Structures are given as C-alpha cells and as structure tokens.
Structure 1
Amino acid sequence: MSHGSTAHNRRGGISRAQFLAAAGAVGAAVPLGAAGGTAAAAPPPRRGVRYRSVCYTLVPGETPGTAWSARRMRSDLRAIARDLHANSVKVTGDGVDRLTATASEAVERGLHVWLEPTLSDRPQQETLDHLAETGRHAERLRRQGADVHLSVGCEFWLLVPGIVPGETVLDRIKNLQDGTVDFVDMQRKLDAFTARAAAVGRSVFRGPLGYAAAQDDRVDWNLFDVVGIDYYSAFPRRESHVRELRKHLRWGKPLAITEFGTCAYEGAPQTGGMGWDVVDHTKQPPEIVGNPVRSERTQAAYVSELLDVFEEMGLYAAMAFEFLTADAPHRADSPRHDLDLASYAIVKPIKDEPADPASDWHWEPKEAFHALARRYARYDRDRRT
C-alpha cells in the first residue's frame, strides 16, 4: 500500500526501494505451502483486464465530517459504477460493520467485490478474528450469488505487529530505516503469519482467496488462488513494466494489481509508494513541504499508461489506488495547504469553508478519474462489439 495511508502523520520514513533492497539481501528461497483452495479463480481473458476496479478505503476519519457514513458510501459506489464505469470495487480498511455494509451495497449495484479487511497496529489474533468475521460475510454474499473475492490482508510486514520490531507502523518504519531488523527472522515470521491468515480465510470463505503484497515481497502463492501485487513502479518504457510484471505470472495463477496509482504533482510517479511524503503533519494545519507543482495531468498519464499495460497483458484485475482520501482536501486558494496534491485519490475533496476543520465538503473528479472512466467504458464497448 501507499505508506501514506498509515503513516501520514509523520514526515520521513523508509522508501520502498530501501526496504526491498534490505529484504532482498536475505536470499532465502520462497517456501512451498499447501496448494490452492476449494474454488480456483477463473483464468484471465486473452486481452483486457477482467476486473476493472478502484480501491475504496474505509477508515474512521480524522473529524466527524470525514468519518465513514452510509449516505456518502452509497453515493460513492453509485459514482464508481455509473460514472467511473468500473465493474469491480476493492472494499478495504477496518471495521467489520463498515466493511460488510459497503460490500453488500456494492453487490446490490452489480459490482464485483474484492473484500480486504485490514487492521493496523492491533494484536495478531485480533487481526485474524477481524478477517474471519469479515470473511464470513463474504461467504454469505457468495452463497447468494455475488461475485466476490476475499483478500486476507495487505503487506503484513507493515501493518501487523510482531513481524518487524515496533509497536506501531511508525516504529516499524523507523526500525527498517535504521537497519535494526533481522531480515531472516522477519521473513520467517511473515511466512508464518501469512500462512495463518490464509488458513483463516479458507476456513470461512469458499471462493477465490488472495493477498495484497508489495511487488517484491516473497510470498508463498501456493496458499492463494490469485497473486495480488501493489504496483508503484515508474519506467520510461512500457516494456520495462511488462518485464517487471511477468515474473509474477510464473506461479500459473491470475495476477491482480491490488493497488496502482500516484499523486497529483510533477515527478510523483518516480516516488513510487512514497509520493505522500511531501506533507509536514507536525504543522497545524499541515503544510506541503518544498515546492511540488500540482499536476493532475501527471497522475492521469501515469494511471492511463499502467492500465494500458495491464490490458495488453490480459491481467486478471486492476485496482486503482484510491477513490477518495477524505482527510486530504484540495485548496485551490492555498497551494501550501493543498493536501490533495499529495493524495493518490482520483477525486478531490473540497470543503465548503476551507479553513474550518468541521466544514461540510463534497468531492469532484480529477483528471485521473476521467482517464480511467474513458478506458473502463471503452473496454466494455469493445467486449460488446
């Protein structure tokens, strides 16, 4: 995931490249696990992405005005289905009630659902219990005829305590940055927890099972039906993306891009999953650091290029990260406070009263929204003709 979704209240952190360089030094082979489950995912089409999706993240919200609400959720899902022309939505985040209500509403609107419960900084057993309860709801939807996949989680090394030393996400990032991590031990613990999560998922859900990994994480994909990768690479040539992605096809399983996207400023794609790190949240109100130049065109061009690559490869699913970041409002009147500039969202929240933290707000589509909508709609037309 974009690290900003959990570590947005602190400047600094470890880059994905730093983490992966250290983790890659471990050199241990990926262990082999139990094969598959009871319901293998269907193979991808020869051309085009089967599930054209967007990540819809559920969080408590920093203020009452940005907290999850059923009214806003229903309106957002209507826009995802009708205006974005998505045929799928990734419902992710925490809170079983929020997750299940949103998944049920998405099914009612005819959307495929990739349901991914995530908890941050909670004990491992609580994370597994949260997964089990959400997974039972996914199974109920599946039995009623819904098209639903269950993901057991996202980048466990970052979110789940006990794998990397540190009580919080920020502590774990600092330890990774400082190099005070035994990467052999980390991989062993990551493997063990991933296997436990897969077993819990299998115990409650009979449909296709997946997991969202960082693109160079070592995962035993024999545990899952779908390979899921959070993809934030930037290359000057499309062929480099194809080469990077092909290695995830060696498992002979459908490949889902469980996150892809960038922020709305020049140069953001080159920052990968760290594009959010141009905000100083120690200031009140938070401020943009440096002089990044807002560019919705940059964001739109990046997601367009990647989606074209995914379609050419015939990948199973592509989930743009993300639909909305309610706590990162757009401020056209004050570029220093334009937090949406550092957001991966494809719509921008705009407050009625920009300086009032409790102000009501609405969202407007960014150029990336329109770029995805054109491609999602075009693909539907192509399949019908």
Structure 2
Amino acid sequence: MENTKGISRARFIAGAAAVGLAGAVLPASRAAATTGESRHRGLKHRGVVYTVGAGETPGTAWSAARMCRDIRVIRDELHADTVDVTGDGVDRLTATAVEAAERGLHVWLQPTLGDVPEREILDSIAECGRFAERLRRQGASVDFSVGCEFWLFVPGIVPGETVLDRVDNLQKGNVDMARMQRRLARFNAKAAAVGRSVFHGRLSYAAAQDEEFEPVDWNLFDVVGIDYYSCFRQPADHVRELRPYQRWGKPLAITEFGTCAYAGAPEAGGMGWNIVDYTKEPNEIKGDPVRSERTQAAYLVDLLQVFESMNLYAAMVFEFVTPDAPHRPDNPRYDLDLASYAITKPVKDDPDDPASGWQWEPKEAFHAVARQYGRRARTAPRGHHG
C-alpha cells in the first residue's frame, strides 16, 4: 500500500468510535454563561472541507486552476460562506486560502501534515499560522486550526510509523492509553503555543468526538472543534451528544461531518470508507453495497438542521471532492466513490488510465446542501460572514 502521505483523508477517518477505546475523562465541567453561539441564530458559518493534498497519481495532482474553479462553485452554487482549507503542502494551503478570502469566503485554515518528525509538524503550523495572520490583518475573515486528531497524525503519540500502523495498534489494544493521552496533551500544548505565537485571531483544533478517548484542554483554544460522525434516528440524540462540548463557554465548530453514498453508510460512522479492499490492485469494493446518494444527502440535511437548531459557530461538510476515489457507473466493483465522503463524484475520461483527465459531477448531497445553505444565506443578516 502507498505511504500515508498519499492516502486520502477519507480513507482513514478512524475516529474514536472506530477504535472503540476509552481513557481519562475531561476535567469537570464549568458553567457556560454566555457562549460565542448565543449572539446569533442558526449556524454562523456554513462550510465545506476542501482538501489540498498532492494527489495519488499524475492525473489527480493538485491544480491551481481547478482549485480556483472549485472555490467559485463553493461560493456561487453550493452557497457556502466558509471553506475549511486542509491538507499538507504550505504552498497549496496558502494559495487556496487566498483564493477563498478574495472570493469573500470565511477561511478555516488547518494544516494536517502527518508521518513526519514532530518538529516539521510544528514548523508547518507556524508557517501556516503566520500566513493566516497576514490574511487576517488584511481584512479577511479567518480562523486558524493547529491541526486535526494529533493522535492519528503525529508520530510518537501512538505506537506505529504510519497512520495505518497507529490505527491498527489502537484497534488491537496495543496502546497504553494513559501514556498516549499524556503525550497528546503535551503536543496539544506545544501546538497551541506555536499557534498563539504567530496568529492572533480565533485559534482552534479538530478533535475526535469521543471525549474519553481524546480529552482536550479547550482552555488552550478559542473555538472547540469536533470531527463528528455519529448516527442517531432522533435529532435530540445528536443534541444530547454535542451539548457537553458547549460547557466550556466557547463557540463550537463541527470541523468535519458526513457519510458515504451507499445504504447503511451512516451507521458505519467514520469507517464508511472501509468497504474498499486496498490490498488488491486495482483497489476494489468489498461485498455488494447498494449505491444510495439519497442516503448521504438525507444524513447531511438532518445534521445541518441539528446544528442550526443549536446555533453552532460553524459546520463543515466533509468533503467537497475526493479525486482519488473515481466514480465507475459502468463497473460497481471499482466504483471507489462509494467509499468517498465527498459531495461530488470524480469521473475520469479514461477509467483505466491513472493519468487520465477527470471532472467532478454533483451528487444528490451537493444539491441538498446547496438548498440548505441557500435558504440560510437568503435569511442571514448583513455582516453574517464576520
């Protein structure tokens, strides 16, 4: 299998639910008299995650021209007001952040460099944070997140040389949880300190949704960020699960949420991607999942309605496009888009050529989110983007 730098984020959204482990509990809650959410109704920022990885093949390599077109679509057709610019490669991150800011979008900038020495990750945080600060001083609306699920990406917190090695060790129970959480807390503190030293706007971090698995001292940050992949039949159950994160008295952002486009995918949570057999070349779909774009669309709309009802600070759909998971309507066995959380589907000019050109097409989820965001945009007061 390719190294972890070449693995799409959608293919290892492990999350605490997938690991199934528990550890220390967060500090006792404190009263939250007035949160950042209380000054607005509904979601303040309606967004989508836009990943800027290098691409796994020449055909899916990052393209500035394609990115610019995508950002325009995100604003004008998806009706999002926020782009969560994430991934590795400082040049790609900053170019995308600039494009989003120039288009009047709120920028949530989040570097996610992984499987390199700790010092390199901190240096990347510093470089991206300095750039975010320059954008902020120029008048752009910017939040800066120091990273995502450090236990997954940063070597030395969980045993294992790569992301997949660390997930494997967690699933097999080959981890001292108390030691892991101490190491995680130390790195969180380092990352927050670096972020504070270069960025003077709202600082955040994207944590797994299980507080017992990944306890975070949110005193280090201005915005609580949660990657959220739960599935409940009743909206009240989502509210009940998310309410504890508001006890810190700080705005709550859903930094990722989503599901794949097949029947039963929401129940798989953050492991919906695991219907692909990556040991085979070419990769192929395991079993016989039934494609259902309607399932994905309905899940996203249901959660957006929950987030609106809770007056959350932000919610970012995961994700806009996953170039390395092409749609194969002619051959379901190789329809890797089934395992993608993206709201668009890549279609290659030549499905059998890794270097082939491609374009994305909107899924039902794209249209559903666009309707939801569009309704909210029409009723939002002036200045709502700030």
Q: CA deviation at 1:44?
A: 5.0
Given that residues 44 and 50 in structure 1 are in contact (C-alpha distance below 8 angstroms), is that contact kept between their aligned partners in structure 2? Answer: no
The alignment's C-alpha RMSD in Å is 1.9
Given that residues 261 and 291 in structure 2 are in contact (C-alpha distance below 8 angstroms), is that contact kept between their aligned partners in structure 1? Answer: yes
Normalised to the residue count of structure 2, the TM-score between the two structures is: 0.92
Cα distance in 2 for residues equivalent to 1:373 and 1:45? 25
Alignment of 1:202-351 (within 5 A): 202-216=196-210, 217-351=214-348
Alignment of 1:83-94 (within 5 A): 83-94=77-88
Q: CA deviation at 1:31?
A: 9.3
Q: Does the C-alpha gap of structure 1 residues 242 and 42 become closer, same or farther in structure 2, counting only changes over 3 Å?
A: closer
Alignment of 1:13-28 (within 5 A): 16-19=16-19, 21-22=20-21, 24=22, 26-28=23-25
Given that residues 16 and 272 in structure 1 are in contact (C-alpha distance below 8 angstroms), is that contact kept between their aligned partners in structure 2? Answer: no
Given that residues 31 and 220 in structure 1 are in contact (C-alpha distance below 8 angstroms), is that contact kept between their aligned partners in structure 2? Answer: no
3-state SS of the aligned residue for 1:306? helix
In structure 1, what is the equivalent of residue 121 of structure 2?
127
The residue type paired with residue 374 of structure 2 is: A
Cα distance in 2 for residues equivalent to 1:67 and 1:187? 36
The residue type paired with residue 215 of structure 1 is: Q
Cα distance in 2 for residues equivalent to 1:377 and 1:172? 40
Q: Does the C-alpha gap of structure 1 residues 323 and 171 become closer, same or farther in structure 2, counting only changes over 3 Å?
A: same
The residue type paired with residue 351 of structure 1 is: K
Given that residues 96 and 133 in structure 1 are in contact (C-alpha distance below 8 angstroms), is that contact kept between their aligned partners in structure 2? Answer: yes
In structure 1, what is the equivalent of residue 91 of structure 2?
97
Is 1:140 the counterpart of 2:137? The answer is: no
Is 1:187 the counterpart of 2:184? The answer is: no
Given that residues 85 and 377 in structure 1 are in contact (C-alpha distance below 8 angstroms), is that contact kept between their aligned partners in structure 2? Answer: yes
3-state SS of the aligned residue for 1:227? strand
Q: Which of 43, 51, 57 is 1:49 aligned to?
A: 43
Q: CA deviation at 1:329?
A: 0.4
The residue type paired with residue 174 of structure 1 is: D
Q: Which of 197, 200, 206 is 2:194 aligned to?
A: 200
The residue type paired with residue 16 of structure 1 is: A
In structure 1, what is the equivalent of residue 162 of structure 2?
168
In structure 2, what is the equivalent of residue 38 of structure 1?
none
In structure 1, what is the equivalent of residue 108 of structure 2?
114
3-state SS of the aligned residue for 1:275? helix
Is 1:150 the counterpart of 2:147? The answer is: no
Q: CA deviation at 1:283?
A: 1.6
Is 1:159 the counterpart of 2:157? The answer is: no
Cα distance in 2 for residues equivalent to 1:327 and 1:6? 11
Given that residues 6 and 169 in structure 1 are in contact (C-alpha distance below 8 angstroms), is that contact kept between their aligned partners in structure 2? Answer: no
The C-alpha deviation readout for 1:187-227, integer Å capped at 9, x for no partner, is: 00000000000000000000000000011121000000000
The residue type paired with residue 107 of structure 1 is: A
Given that residues 56 and 323 in structure 1 are in contact (C-alpha distance below 8 angstroms), is that contact kept between their aligned partners in structure 2? Answer: yes
In structure 1, what is the equivalent of residue 3 of structure 2?
none
In structure 1, what is the equivalent of residue 4 of structure 2?
none
Cα distance in 2 for residues equivalent to 1:48 and 1:7? 28
Identity of aligned residues (%): 66
The C-alpha deviation readout for 1:111-144, integer Å capped at 9, x for no partner, is: 0000000111111110000010011100000000
Normalised to the residue count of structure 1, the TM-score between the two structures is: 0.92
Given that residues 154 and 213 in structure 1 are in contact (C-alpha distance below 8 angstroms), is that contact kept between their aligned partners in structure 2? Answer: yes
- Structure 1 residues without counterparts, runs of 5 or longer: 33-40
Q: Does the C-alpha gap of structure 1 residues 274 and 81 become closer, same or farther in structure 2, counting only changes over 3 Å?
A: same
3-state SS of the aligned residue for 1:250? helix
Q: Does the C-alpha gap of structure 1 residues 105 and 218 become closer, same or farther in structure 2, counting only changes over 3 Å?
A: same
Q: CA deviation at 1:17?
A: 2.4
